[in-house]
Every structure is written in structure tokens, then in C-alpha cells.
Amino acid sequence: MRVMGYGLRVTSCASQLSRCIIVCLFFFSFVGVSQTPPKISSKVDTTFIKIGEQIQFTVTVDVDSTDQVIFPEGQTFSPLETVEALPTDTTKKQSRYILQKTYALTQFDSGVYKLPTQFIDINGKGFYTDSLMVNVATVPVDTIAQKMYDIKPLINVEKSNASFWKILFFILLALLVLGALLYWFVFRKKALTEEEKEALLPPYDRALLELKKLENSKYLIQDEYKLYYTELTDIVRSYLEEDAHVTALESTTDQLIDKLEMLRDAGELKLEDATLKQFKQILQTADLVKFAKSKPAISIAEEHRKSIEQIVIKTHDALPEPTEEELLEQEEYQEELARKQQRKKWIIAGVAAFGAILLSIAGLSAYYGPKQVWDTVTRHPTKKLLDGEWVSSSYGYPPVLLETPEVLVRQKTKIPLEFQNKIKELHTFGYHNDEAFFTVASTSTTLAEQEEPEHEKTIENLIRGFEKKGAKNIITKNEEFTTISGVKGLKTYGSGKFKVPDSDELVRGQYMIFSFGGPGFQQQILITWLDADTYAKEIVDRIVSTLEVKIEA
């Protein structure tokens, strides 16, 4: 019985749990169903504007605080154009949010336009606004009060040289910095150091100055006799070599004394025997100190320095006065030294400038690539077009909007006799560069009848025109093309061998023909360029990316 009672209690608890789960599921289902659905509304501040004026199109969405709303973006209001999409304005009302999104729209052609329904994404579900009609009126012109004038001819405007002056500025700045560095480190007359001042002294004065410094040295106090006597003999030997023109530095003691005696006997050096004998004793003592580690008394070493000083003085006094020829030779020697120093400075400057140019070229080549640098220096024709200041304009009627490296110039074209009954107006604009074999042309045609243009026939005529001018092996492909604003047309492209103007030479080239149109009009854009020209391909890609047409005549 106890077991049965326990089982009844378990069954009762399970039954209560099941009822609780069902109630909870029913409650949450009820809550989910009872949520208020989103509310969408739209309005414009006016339905009547003039050409170029703007209307404010506002979309209001009333949603729950947990809903995710995605408003339309981009050019989704065609045939009206989006000028600006303002930030979303959010207002909280109890547990719900009111979102307002405002768009500034405009149109540059007169007429009555339908503002299409707009798709609003809320939690992955689509909701749509109402469509509206907008009337765009032309600006009235009083032709009676205001006199009408003919269209003015094209005016040649001087091309902006902003990029050229910028490059020139940086080149001049680099040259100025290089010139300043060369002046500071090479050409500037620097203050001479003490060593340089001593080197410029005459041999006699320099020898006495060095002997004076040796007197004030601490060699003898520090027991450095070898250094003392080495410097002492070097001073006197250098002086004799420079002033007496005796090869003293490479001579032994006996050889040096023999040379001095020969000069004395020849009458070129008036020295007494006692002076030569004393000089020989000092040199022999110096040899013993340097090679036999002899160490005379300090007083003797000091006396030897004084004796060497007297020998220098006596030698200087014994030398004959230099002749005029010797003085001229010395002057020429000094001038030659000055010229050598000047040439050395110019060589350093040239090497520095050449090195700076090489480093600049290497740096630019590493950053931009050798081909880019070379083509920039040699002014490659299509690279010059690509890097120049581009022009954005519309051509013909109905208009074709293009961004090109050079403005397209109106071409004088005559309508052939066989087409005069079919074509009402023909507007042709073009730019051609013979050096780069690059062409851009735009043609807008108004037909005499409100009929669809025959793009295939027009393209066949263009291809036949290529062949008449000497083109061969022309390959043609067709595919659909859509502009940024969604206008669809026909793209014809291919390659072939085209004749170089004023020559029998054929070059491999590519072409593109874009065809658009509607009842009563046709628009075509033609582009040709060299097959292997990467800069021309970049130009073509940029032109195509900006291509836009008006589809209403």
C-alpha cells in the first residue's frame, strides 16, 4: 500500500508538471502572437520641384524595441537621384521605437516621375513603402525680354600644372638639401685645428714648436726614454728633409752625417765640424736608447734636446737664400696643391650627387617598381595621361557622362546621304593620341523615327570602318553591360591588328564599344588602345567605371 501511495504521488506530480509546461508554452505563444506588428509610412515634403531642386523623402517605421530594421541604401530611387541619405532619427515611445530615415532626392530633367516603392527589411521580412508621383518642371525663360545668343565655341583652357610644380618643388628641395650638405662638409672653410695650423707652418718654425712641446712633455718623468729620443730624432730628420732637402728619414746615422758633410764640402750647407760632430753623438746616443735600451741621465737628455734646437737654428742660418726660380717653384707647387684639393672637393661633390641620385632611383624603384620609375622619367605617353588631371563631363544629346584623361573635343561629322532620312541629329566628340595609339570617342544620335536603334548594324559599320583603314584579324565579342545607375546596354569588345597612322606597320590593339539607346535615340562610346599597354588598360578601366548615360531623349 505504501508503494502504491508513493506511485500515486509521483503520477500526480508528473501530471501537474505536464499541465504547467502546457500552460507556459501557451503563455509564450500567446505573448509572441500578441506583439504589435511594425507600421510603415512614407511622405515627401513636396511633389512639385524645378530642375535641380531637392525633395525630402521620409520613411517612418514604428517597431518593437527588439526589432532589427534595415533601410534602403544607394541609388534605389531611380529615376530620381539620391543626393544625400540623412542619419536615422530614433524616438522611444514606451516599449517601442519610432525610426525616421530622410533622403534628399533630385532630378535634372523635366517631366513627371514615379518614386518607386522602397524595400524595408525588418527581422528578415520585407515591407514596402507607397509609391509617389513627383513633377519636375523646367525653369521658365522669358525669350522676349532676354535676347537669345548662339552657342559659344569651345575655349582652350590652360591645363593645370599643379602636379608638375609639386614634383619640381620636391626636386629643388632635395637639391637644396644636397647642396647645403656639400657646402657644410666639403666646400665650407672650416676653422683649422691646432694640428692643421702646425702643419701649415714653415719647416723651421714647425721644428722649433715641436721641440718646445717635447721639452714640456712627461716622457723623461715617466721613464719613457725611447719615445723621447724617437720623437727628438724624427723632428730633426723631418726638418732636414723638408728644409735642407736631405733624405734624412730613411738614412742611418752614418749615412745622414755623410750626406751633410757632402753638402758642406760642396758649399751648399755652411756647418762647422763641431756642430756635425755633436749632431752625430746625439744620433748615436738615440740609437743606443732605441735599440740597446740605454738610459742616459735626465740632464743629458735635456741637454741633447737643447743641442738639437741649436743644430736646427744653425742649419737654417747656414742654408743659402732661395733663388727666384726656387720661390716660383714653391709658389707653383702650392698652387698645384690648392688645385688638387679643389679637384678633390669637386670629385667628392660629384660622387655624393651621383650617389644621392642612385639612392633616390633605387628607393623609388623599390617602392614603385623599376618600370614605373623608368616610364615616369621617360614620360611614357599613356602613363602621362593616367597620372594627369582628369576631366569629368557630359557629351551630346541625349548626354553621355564620362571621366577621361583629356576633354573630348566636338568633331565635325556629316551624316551620310543614305542615312539622312533616318538620322535627325548627330553629336560626336573624341580624343586621339597618335603617340600612345589611344582613342576615346562618344556619339549621341537622335533618330528621325521613334524606333529602337539597331546596335548590331551600327557595330558592323564601325568594324567595317576599321577594316577600311587597314585593320586585320579583328575578333568581336558581345555581352550585356550595366552602368552604375542600372542602365543596361551592349558591350562589344575584342582585338585585332590596327594600322599605324602614316605607316604600313600593324600593331596589336584592343577595342571596346558600348551601345545604349531607346525609342528615337542611340548612344555609343568607342575606346581603342595598344594590347600590351598596362597604363592604357588602367585608363580604360577607370573610364568604364565612370561611364553613365541618360536613357531619355
pLDDT in tens, the chain (553 residues): 333 333 323 333 333 433 333 333 333 333 333 357 888 889 999 888 888 889 999 999 998 888 888 888 877 888 888 888 889 888 888 778 888 999 999 988 888 888 888 888 888 888 888 888 888 886 665 555 555 666 666 666 555 556 656 766 777 788 788 778 777 776 676 666 777 677 778 888 888 999 999 989 999 888 899 999 999 999 999 988 888 888 888 889 999 888 888 888 887 788 888 888 998 999 999 999 989 888 889 899 999 999 999 989 988 888 776 666 766 666 676 677 778 877 887 787 777 777 777 766 666 666 656 666 666 666 678 888 888 888 888 888 878 888 898 888 888 877 777 777 778 888 889 998 877 788 999 988 888 888 888 888 888 888 888 888 888 888 888 888 888 778 888 899 888 888 777 777 888 888 999 988 888 888 889 999 888 888 889 899 999 888 888 765 4
**Rounded CA separation 239/234 (Å):** 8
Q: Is 7 helix (H, G, I), strand (E, B) or coil?
A: helix
Cβ contact 60:99 at 8 Å = yes
- Farthest-apart Cα atoms in the chain, separation: 158
Residue where the block lists cell 525680354: 145
**Rounded CA separation 535/371 (Å):** 11
Counted residue by residue, the chain has a size of 553
Cβ contact 529:437 at 8 Å = yes
Predicted local distance difference test score (pLDDT) of residue 16:
40
**Inter-CA distances, 230 with 195, 201, 258, Å:** 19, 22, 21
Cβ contact 97:37 at 8 Å = no
What sign has the CA pseudo-torsion 179, 180, 181, 187?
A: positive
**Rounded CA separation 255/269 (Å):** 16
**Rounded CA separation 86/75 (Å):** 14
Predicted local distance difference test score (pLDDT) of residue 303:
92
What sign has the CA pseudo-torsion 141, 146, 151, 153?
A: negative
Cβ contact 397:425 at 8 Å = yes
366 torsion bin: left (phi>0), alpha (psi -120 to 50), beta (else): alpha
Cβ contact 448:424 at 8 Å = yes
Predicted local distance difference test score (pLDDT) of residue 114:
85
